[in-house]
């Protein structure tokens, strides 16, 4: 009963490098999300996908791209990493209207 | 647009004392309300949710919250806290969609 699985758990990048964060859920949820968590700022939505084949920008999309590969998987890509993208990234998924979101354990990303 | 305000960034309390974590939201329409807990180096777990019906909502680990529409509040309470309740707590709101707006979090520190 894995729920939401994120890989990797930790990563250190140099400025300008690219990277893809992976997320998969096994709950047959339509909706998936990517957040970043920074001290004192709560969680901010980067991108979300309401269903397979659709993606939409959230509050802080600049510098990121996403792919909803299929119903299970939703990846987040940093094309040219910047120190301001140092953060903890969380993936989540949910069922329809009002259902709670289920979160992965996060990816701790440091950009030097 | 909706927003969520968690009035206290940190709440220190002694073990077995009662605690209240405050949350206010702004929305001109009906919303869904959630409280999540985050233990160190983990993702977020759902504590409780309010979708409709009774304004007093009971969650896991002995927590409860009361929805107050006139004061646009959804405060979280526990009559007697334990050391293991030390964590960060997030209030969140959504309106008929799956997207959540999070507060900035309250760090509950329980002392022996």
Closest-CA residue in chain B for A5?
B43
Question: For chain A, which ranges sit under pLDDT 70?
Answer: 1, 97-98
Higher pLDDT, A98 or B40: B40
**Per-residue model confidence (pLDDT) at position A9:** 94
Name residues 13-52 of chain A within 8 A of B (Cβ).
31, 33, 40-45, 48, 50
pLDDT number for residue B67? 92
What pLDDT score was predicted for residue B53?
Answer: 83
Smallest CA–CA distance, residue B16 to chain A, in Å, is 27
**How much is the pLDDT for A100?**
83
Beta-strand runs (E) in chain B: 3-5, 10-14, 19-21, 24-26, 32-38, 44-50, 56-58, 64-68, 73-78, 87-94, 101-102, 106-111
Report the C-alpha gap between B87 and B106 in whole angstroms.
8
Q: Of B23, B2, B24, B21, which Cα lies nearest the Cα of B10?
A: B21
Asked if residue B35 has pLDDT above 80, the reply is yes
């Amino acid at each position: 009963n894995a729920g939401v699985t994120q890989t990797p758990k930790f990563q250190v990048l140099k400025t300008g490098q690219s990277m893809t964060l992976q997320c998969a859920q096994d709950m047959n949820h339509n909706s998936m999300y990517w957040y970043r968590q920074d001290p004192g700022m709560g969680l901010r939505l980067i991108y979300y996908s309401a269903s397979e084949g659709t993606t939409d920008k959230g509050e802080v999309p600049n510098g990121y791209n996403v792919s909803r590969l299929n119903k299970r998987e939703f990846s987040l890509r940093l094309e040219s990493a910047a120190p301001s993208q140092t953060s903890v990234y969380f993936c989540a998924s949910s069922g329809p209207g009002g259902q709670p979101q289920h979160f992965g354990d996060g990816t701790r990303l440091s950009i030097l | 647009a909706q927003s969520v305000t968690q009035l206290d960034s940190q709440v220190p309390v002694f073990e077995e004392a009662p605690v209240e974590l405050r949350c206010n939201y702004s929305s001109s329409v009906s919303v869904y309300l959630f409280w999540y807990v985050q233990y160190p180096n983990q993702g977020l777990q759902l504590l409780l949710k309010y979708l409709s019906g009774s304004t007093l909502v009971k969650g896991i680990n002995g927590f409860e919250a009361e929805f107050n529409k006139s004061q646009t509040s959804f405060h979280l309470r526990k009559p007697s806290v334990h050391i293991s309740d030390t964590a960060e707590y997030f209030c969140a709101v959504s309106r008929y969609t799956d997207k959540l707006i999070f507060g900035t979090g309250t760090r509950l520190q329980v002392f022996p």
